[in-house]
């Protein structure tokens, strides 16, 4: 068997294993700690950058990397300020999610002159991966509430290119069977202008279901399947997004989209309020504006920095007979890094609908991603307003890189970094349900608390596995298993 065939088989086997765990290969390696030391023992008070050299970017265009730099040539910087800029720029380049390793090194060549070397190690950009994912809200929902039913699994093939033409364009294609049959095509181009401030993205999605969540009772989802196992819902959606990035950390997004949902009349027999206008189709245009301020050190598993996202969506633009609604979302997270071992993270999420009732396809609440309170993963608490405040104190007690180059002869997958964190967690929140549905009154319109301990594993391509034992103020406790950072 040739070397090339061995590599492809190794990649596909690795892709299947990660897909089974719900981990995408396009997540990212953990960031490598870098020491910023000058070429000699003495450091000047001020320095001028003569040249910037980039090595290791075989595919990525130099302009994409230079866009992230907060320093330039032929300008004098205070040395300490310059070192702070370099460290921040290294994090920005890494968060492009194009490289497994990033290192910026200043080389002193004169009394007040430096040459800057940016060394990167590129990821594997073209990734065929197998889809093998649970269709339910989380692992606990599938394991406990749905009885580990393997018919509730999605499977298929995903093909992604994370760096088309070397300009950080993303192209995704996914064909999916199983619980939800779906087709998804996405393309994004971060910059369409020479100054690299404006970008565009487009997406087309189609999916259908034979089993459908039609309502909630006793703070649990209620699913329905027709006796003949007919298709109960078909959905077609398309969207175009414009991006404006004026500064390094601030992004503005404007999205214009169209959604068409058809449901079987059987669904309206089971829940007449699934839609609100008396027919079994829902069509609407929507427009979303979102502001994003992101200064996290690692977008996959942050330990330092902050994240602020404010979003407003108008459902129903011109024709509002079927839907006329406004939704506002707020996310505000702060990450405090005390040292390399300890960090504390706190995050507030809020969501508001202006109307008292929404079509069930727009229903939000605690239990639906990304809003949850640890200890209540088995529940959904639906309503028109929600507030969630999550907190984690973490201790990193293991940090090691494992060399597997003998087994996998691909440079992009030759090292597996493993980080283990012990976390103490405390979450609390509230869902306001204006309809005050009696069957969901146990948790809706109530103050909710969840707390416990967890073990977080951050590994291959920044993949995250969380093992947690959590209690809640309903005196319920359980083990929970998740695939993403909590916030």
Give the C-alpha distances (Å, rounded to integers) separating 250 from 15, 136, 233.
33, 33, 38
Q: Of 59, 71, 68, whose CA–CA distance to 95 is shortest?
A: 68
For residues 150 and 233, membership in a common domain is answered with: yes
d(CA 132, CA 177): 10
CA angle 159, 307, 399 (to 5 degrees): 70
Q: Residue 172's pLDDT is what?
A: 92
Residues 235 and 367 in one domain: yes
- The CATH number assigned to the domain holding 266 equals 2.40.160.50
pTM of the model: 0.81
**Same-domain check for residues 227 and 267:** yes
Residues 138 and 113 in one domain: no
Establish if 40 belongs to a structural domain: no
Would you say 259 and 237 are in contact if contact means Cβ atoms under 8 Å apart? Answer: yes
Does 17 map to a domain? no
Q: Please indicate, yes or no, if residue 409 is contained in any of the structural domains.
A: yes
Question: What CATH number is given to the structural domain containing 107?
Answer: 3.10.20.310
Same domain, yes or no, for 66 and 169?
no
pLDDT at 18: 42
CA-CA distances (angstroms) from residue 218 to 235, 442, 444? 28, 7, 10
Are 324 and 356 in a shared domain? yes
Measured CA to CA, the distance from residue 59 to residue 465 in angstroms comes to: 30
Q: What local confidence, expressed as pLDDT, does residue 456 receive?
A: 96
Q: Are both 372 and 478 inside the same structural domain? A: yes
pLDDT in the model for residue 12 = 40
Residue 186 and residue 98 share a domain? no
Provide the number of structural domains found in the chain: 2
Q: What is the pLDDT along the chain (487 residues), one digit of tens a residue?
A: 444 444 434 444 444 444 433 444 333 333 333 334 444 446 788 999 999 999 999 999 999 999 999 999 989 999 999 999 999 999 999 999 999 899 999 999 888 899 999 999 998 888 777 777 777 787 778 778 887 887 788 888 888 898 998 999 999 999 888 888 899 999 999 999 989 999 999 999 999 998 899 999 999 999 998 888 889 999 999 999 999 998 899 999 999 999 999 999 999 999 998 998 889 999 999 999 999 999 999 998 999 999 999 999 999 998 888 999 999 999 999 999 999 999 999 999 999 999 988 999 999 999 988 899 999 999 999 999 999 999 999 999 999 988 887 777 677 677 888 999 999 999 999 999 998 889 999 999 999 999 999 999 998 777 899 999 999 998 898 888 888 888 8
Query: Environment class of residue 272 by beta-carbon count within 10 Å: exposed (0-12), middle (13-18) or buried (19+)?
Result: exposed
Residue 371 placed within a domain: yes
- CA distance linking residue 32 with residue 94, whole number of Å: 10
pLDDT for res 178: 81
What is the four-CA torsion angle of 193, 259, 204, 180, rounded to 10 degrees? Answer: 150
Q: For residue 103, what are the domain limits?
A: 46-122
């Amino acid at each position: 068997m040739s070397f090339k065939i061995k590599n492809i088989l190794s990649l596909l086997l690795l892709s299947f294993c990660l897909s089974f765990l719900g981990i995408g290969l396009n997540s990212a390696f953990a960031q490598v700690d870098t020491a910023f030391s000058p070429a000699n023992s003495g450091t000047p008070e001020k320095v001028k950058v003569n040249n910037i050299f980039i090595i290791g970017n075989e595919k990525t265009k130099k302009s994409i990397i230079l866009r992230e730099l907060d320093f330039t040539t032929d300008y004098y910087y205070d040395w300490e300020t310059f070192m702070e800029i370099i460290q921040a720029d290294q994090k920005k380049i890494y968060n492009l999610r194009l490289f497994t390793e990033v290192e910026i090194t200043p080389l002193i060549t004169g009394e007040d002159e430096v040459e800057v070397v940016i060394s990167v190690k590129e990821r594997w950009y073209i990734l065929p991966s197998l889809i093998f994912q649970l269709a339910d809200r989380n692992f606990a929902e599938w394991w406990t509430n749905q009885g580990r039913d393997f018919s509730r699994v999605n499977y298929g093939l995903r093909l992604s290119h994370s760096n088309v033409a070397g300009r950080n364009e993303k192209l995704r294609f996914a064909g999916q069977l199983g619980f939800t049959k779906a087709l998804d095509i996405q393309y994004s181009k971060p910059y369409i202008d020479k100054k690299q401030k404006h970008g565009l993205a487009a997406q087309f999605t189609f999916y259908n279901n034979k089993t459908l969540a039609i309502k909630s009772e006793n703070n649990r989802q209620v699913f329905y399947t027709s006796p003949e196992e007919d298709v109960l819902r078909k959905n077609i959606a398309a969207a175009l997004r414009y991006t404006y990035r004026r500064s390094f950390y601030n992004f503005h997004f404007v999205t214009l989209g169209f959604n068409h949902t058809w449901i079987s009349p059987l669904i309206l027999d089971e829940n007449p309020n699934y839609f609100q206008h008396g027919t079994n189709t829902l069509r609407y245009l929507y427009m979303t504006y979102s502001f994003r301020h992101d200064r996290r050190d690692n977008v996959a598993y942050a330990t330092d920095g902050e994240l602020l996202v404010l979003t407003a969506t108008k459902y129903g633009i011109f024709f509002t007979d079927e839907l006329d609604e406004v939704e506002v979302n707020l996310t505000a997270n702060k990450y405090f890094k005390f040292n390399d071992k300890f960090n504390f993270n706190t995050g507030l999420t809020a969501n508001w609908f202006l109307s008292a009732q929404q079509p069930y396809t727009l229903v939000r609440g605690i239990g639906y991603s990304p809003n949850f309170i640890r200890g209540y993963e088995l529940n959904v608490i639906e309503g028109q307003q929600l507030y969630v405040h999550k907190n984690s104190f973490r201790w990193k007690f293991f940090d090691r890189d494992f060399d597997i180059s003998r087994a996998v002869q691909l440079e992009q997958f030759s090292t597996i970094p493993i980080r283990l964190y012990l976390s103490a967690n405390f979450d609390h929140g509230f869902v306001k349900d204006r309809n005050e549905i009696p069957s969901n009154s146990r948790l809706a319109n109530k103050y909710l608390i969840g707390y416990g301990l967890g073990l977080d594993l951050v590994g291959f391509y920044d993949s995250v596995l969380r093992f947690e034992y959590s209690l809640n103020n309903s005196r319920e406790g359980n083990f929970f298993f998740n695939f993403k950072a909590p916030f």
